[in-house]
């Protein structure tokens, strides 16, 4: 067979497991959860024939067990025919990042509501149509069925969803109401970090100061765009990093004190006839 007809084994696997990220595929290969039909180990860049036989039993077994061990504190705020609305605690992921993550929102729902597995045919689905950062708490939609997932994805894509957050920030703003209108993109050479970028995705954050202290303040931030780390990047760009945010606070290690998690909380989510909210209070840790 000609060399140009060979395919990379990780690309072959991505076609079979479309909801697994490239990182998760690499983890499966590194930990030998996927081998050749004769038990041979495979690397990410290995090239094989398109009809190469893969043994995926270990991966499938691993995936099945993930849904039986999730143990996280989930509070359900509302239950609709096709989705849940929860209050996600700080410190847990919305969905698995690593193939070995167990205590995520997705894992918990797949364990406690096994009927959801029948609604999503893909392996390890991201059943939340949007996301909150691990250390951000508050309202999160979790789909019961594909119809619910698609409904909310369309609302977010069409920018019909308004979200309000509360954030404790360092600094003392001169204005009680201001808007940050600046596109955001990935920071070159720094995986997982975002920055203001003219070539980035448009993002607008409306900020209202709620309470002032000596060197920090509580504010409400309203957004319709949902760019990764939007509020954290926008506030830090104005000189007001969020308390507990080690990624975007350049003075993080010199602060007099820091909470365990960044103090950012999604308390309101509205779209068309949908309106969900939590108490508009966020005590400082």
pLDDT at 285: 55
Give the three-state DSSP class for 98: coil
Structure tokens at 191: 């995986």
Tell me which CATH code domain 3-66 carries.
Answer: 3.10.290.10
Q: Where in the chain is the domain with CATH 3.30.2350.10?
A: 75-157, 162-277
**Segment 208-258, tens digit of pLDDT:** 999 999 999 999 999 988 899 999 999 999 999 999 999 999 999 999 888
Q: Do 285 and 259 touch, CB atoms closer than 8 A?
A: yes
Q: Which residues are catalytically annotated?
A: 133
**Residues 17, 23, 27, CA angle at the centre, nearest 5°?**
85
**Segment 157-198, tens digit of pLDDT:** 999 999 999 999 999 999 999 999 999 999 998 888 999 999
Q: Which residues pair with 143 in a beta bridge?
A: 83
Domain 75-157 superfamily per CATH: Pseudouridine synthase (3.30.2350.10)
Q: Do 60 and 129 touch, CB atoms closer than 8 A?
A: no
Strand 47-48 versus strand 7-8 pairing type: antiparallel
- In words, the CATH class of domain 162-277 is alpha beta
């Amino acid at each position: 067979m000609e060399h140009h007809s060979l395919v990379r084994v990780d690309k072959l696997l991505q076609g079979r497991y479309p909801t697994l990220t490239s990182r998760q595929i690499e983890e499966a290969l590194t930990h030998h959860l996927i081998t050749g039909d004769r038990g041979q180990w495979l690397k990410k860049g290995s090239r094989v024939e398109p009809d190469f036989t893969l043994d995926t039993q270990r991966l499938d077994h691993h995936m099945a067990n993930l849904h039986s061990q999730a143990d996280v504190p989930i509070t359900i705020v509302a239950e609709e025919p096709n989705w849940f609305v929860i209050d996600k605690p700080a410190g847990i992921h919305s969905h698995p990042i690593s193939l070995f993550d167990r205590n995520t929102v997705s894992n918990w729902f797949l364990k406690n509501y096994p009927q959801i597995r029948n609604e999503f045919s893909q392996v390890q689905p991201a059943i939340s149509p949007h996301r909150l950062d691990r250390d951000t708490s508050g309202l999160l939609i979790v789909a019961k069925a594909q119809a619910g997932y698609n409904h909310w994805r369309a609302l977010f894509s069409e920018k019909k969803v308004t979200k309000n957050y509360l954030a404790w920030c360092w600094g003392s703003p001169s204005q009680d109401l201001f808007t940050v209108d600046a596109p955001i993109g990935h920071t070159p050479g720094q995986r997982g970090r975002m920055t203001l970028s003219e070539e980035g995705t448009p993002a607008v954050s409306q900020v209202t100061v709620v309470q002032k202290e000596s060197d920090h303040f509580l504010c409400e931030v309203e957004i319709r765009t949902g760019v990764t780390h939007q509020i954290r990047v926008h506030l830090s760009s104005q000189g007001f990093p969020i308390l507990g945010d080690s990624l975007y606070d350049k003075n993080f290690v010199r602060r007099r004190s820091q909470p365990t998690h960044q103090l950012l909380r999604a308390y309101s989510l509205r779209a068309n006839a949908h309106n969900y909210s939590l108490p508009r209070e966020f005590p400082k840790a």
